[in-house]
Structure formats: structure tokens, C-alpha cells
Amino acid sequence: ILHDPKILILDEPTSGLDPNQMDEIRSLIVALKKDKTILFSSHLLGEVNAICDHVLLIDKGQLKANCSIEEAKNYPGGIEAFFKDKTN
């Protein structure tokens, strides 16, 4: 972030943080994504839902989904069912 990169790669950026810190990091990511490409990994569906515009779902080294977050949300049964079905 210091050198204003065009692409950020964030691996579980809120892992180990308290709820207030998680909210601050999520807000920062949302603000930064306006001007940057952000590759973001998370196992927290609420976080994915709150931050992401697009989903690349990788399971056991295989690309299982490549879609908008809206497509995942509109999946029959919701986003939870989307992730569950794509990883089974």
C-alpha cells in the first residue's frame, strides 16, 4: 500500500483481528478497490459478500467458479449453497 501498487494480493487479511479491526480493514479494502485490482482470499463468506465484486473459487487447486458476486448471491439457496455445491 505504501508504494501505491496497482494490484494488491491479500491472503486472509482479517485473520486474527478483533471485530473492530476487521471492520476497519474491510472498509479500507472497499475504499482501495475503487482504484486497484485486489486479489483476496478468505474462508469467511460474510467477508466475501461484503467486499468482493467478482468470485474466483479455487478448490484443491482447481478453478471451480468464475463469476460475479451477484451471480453467486442469486444462486438457488444463496451464496452459501453456491460455495457448497461448487466445492463438492
* Domain boundaries of the chain, sorted by first residue: 7-86
Across the range 34-45, mean pLDDT stands at 92
Give CATH for domain 7-86. 3.40.50.300
Across the range 10-34, mean pLDDT stands at 95
Across the range 26-45, mean pLDDT stands at 93
Bridge partners, 57 (sequence order): 65
The torsion angle over the Cα atoms of residues 17, 74, 66 and 10, rounded to 10 degrees, is -10
Confidence of residue 2 (pLDDT cuts 50, 70, 90): confident
